[in-house]
Structure 1
Amino acid sequence: MDKLDAIVIGAGVVGLAVAASLSRRFGNVLIIDRAETIGTGISSRNSEVIHAGIYYPTGSLKAQLCVEGKRQLYAYCRRRGVAVNSLGKLIVATQVEQEAQLDALFTQARANGVDDLNPLGRRQLQALEPALKASAGLLSPSTGIVDSHGLMLSLLAEAEEYGAIFCPHTEFITTQADANGFRVELMQQGERVSLETSFLINCAGLFATEVATRIEGLAESLVPQLYWCKGHYFAYQGKSPFAHLIYPVPEPGLKGLGIHATIDLGGQLKFGPDAQYMVPDSLEDYRVPEALRQRFHQAIASYYPGIAIERLQTAYAGIRPKLQGPDDTEVADFLIQGEAQHGIPGLVNLLGIESPGLTASLAIAEQVSRQLVTP
């Protein structure tokens, strides 16, 4: 039976970042994913935004790892030649009553270590974005966009440079921990395979809690309920009227950041996502119903009154793995379970890694490495 240093379950951006980080320390890392290639789920179905760290509760992992991850991500992209653009974001109040929320966001951002926000009035917003309707706003100059697929290819290439191996079409079945690490059972293209590894990292995204339930010896009480929340996107035909990303004030409890406007690296304007919790035990469904067009148009028109509904075209959808249920009012944090939480040496479960997971991916990987490896 082959002995590995580490097995990383899940080849999304977080799993690949973890694999790249561990591969610098070990030469025998295996990355597995049951899909046919890297990043087919959450990592390829998002806004590709590099977040500043504005919204999240101070002291939370989301806040800390987003702020640190943003810094690391920009540096990594410059170093590795991954396409990135810090075009900036405007968070806007479309009604005077919402301006208090902007003040609260400004204070929250400062507490989180985001010190580059600029409050703007109506005239300043009009000068920056003539097509925008807003009474006040915040400019976040360090918010940007990244080529998420290019980032994942770079992380995989870096991991492989240090000897890591990626195995697609490979599903985690179960594992048993012992004094020497883990005996892991996998299903690889219909064939059952047994491997031994010192470290096991669960980065399975939407299926992270399902994977956790298959880890023998992990207490059932440590596996929280995971909620799938679907977000739809519409593309906008023609030249973008905006030069910045445009965000309305966020929804209560941060269940979503509102239907915002983003511009990809090719200049395509798109709107989304909304936030629709899915029925428990649903299948992955990435269809975008035409019937959503009217609701999107109404939401977008609040800050872009010139929008033409016929130019809104269905684009794609993503699903977020939330630890925050539809009726919960408190913002759920990332859950990074190591030995201190579950008592199993060498195991790390990453649960509820939704936005800002892309931004925080390198910082998350660094934290996982610190938990697993004694300096």
Structure 2
Amino acid sequence: MNLRNIFLASAATLVAAPALADVNIYTTRQPELIQPVIDEFTAETGIDVNLAFVQQGIVERLKAEGARSPADLVMTVDIANLQQIVDADVIQPVDSDVLHNSIPENLRSPDDLWFALTTRARIVYASKERVADGEVTTYEDLADPKWEGRICTRSGVHDYNLALLSAIIAHHGEEYAREWAAGVKANLARKPEGNDRAQVRAIWAGECDISLGNTYYMGQMLADPEQVEWANSVRIVFPEFEDAGTHINVSGVALTKAAPNKEEAIQLMEFLVSEEAQHIYAEANNEYPVLEGAPLSDLVASWGEFDRDTMDLTTLAGHRAEALRIMEEVNFDG
């Protein structure tokens, strides 16, 4: 890793410091997950990049800095976070034929404010021992009483689960979504707790049979010697909506309003959707490229093919408030 290009600094430090690079990025993703593709961009263009890891408060930082912000780009995960940045009015549109031609319409903002870079599926981890092939087919099925006492999941108000419930609302309406959330809650083996990997651990320990999770966590578990056994106890199942495909979410990028290095920043954005960069970035994160035809990593390819839900992600973001209200009304985490 090129440590010279990683800034784990406060906003004050970045503002006060002289420009050390041609592109500055605020990112909620760990820098080591982005560094491989950044290194390739610098090697090909000679443009240096600073990564500032901002784990929380990225919107507040950009608003506080205003026109003085050193940040050119912001990179984050989940459509809810991207929409929050849009609502804060701290980014500007990018009119780029490269981005339009490389990224499917449903994976970018209709007003060109944000662009997806990778996707991940919200899938089911199923016990190899206790769940038969074909036993899990749809998201709607998770509310069926046959799963009573067999499901584990993280908090219902976590962004990943709110995005899934938002998709349920978009496909079936709010009343159905409330009944579905209540049905899934009734089928829980335990109170929601921990992250997605903790649910796989619970399956391995025999506490439940299936769990909700993002695909890339399988890659993370297989890379951790302490978690390999958990990963090997489950298989990935791609449920679908009854009228659509498998629910997906994204990581994405946006150009800040301040963008002191706008031209170079857009050049980096366009590089990030090239076939070469898509393969590097998706492989480093165990995710799926947004560019059609870009090669998958061998591990991700081994999980099998699936049909994606093509619902516009901005539509899902528009249902987030309803999803949160439903989770609170059914006391999902209670």
Coarse TM-score class (shorter-chain normalised): under 0.3
Q: Which has the higher helix share?
A: 2
Query: What TM-score comes out, normalization by structure 1 length?
Result: 0.24
Q: Which has the higher strand share?
A: 1
Query: What TM-score comes out, normalization by structure 2 length?
Result: 0.26
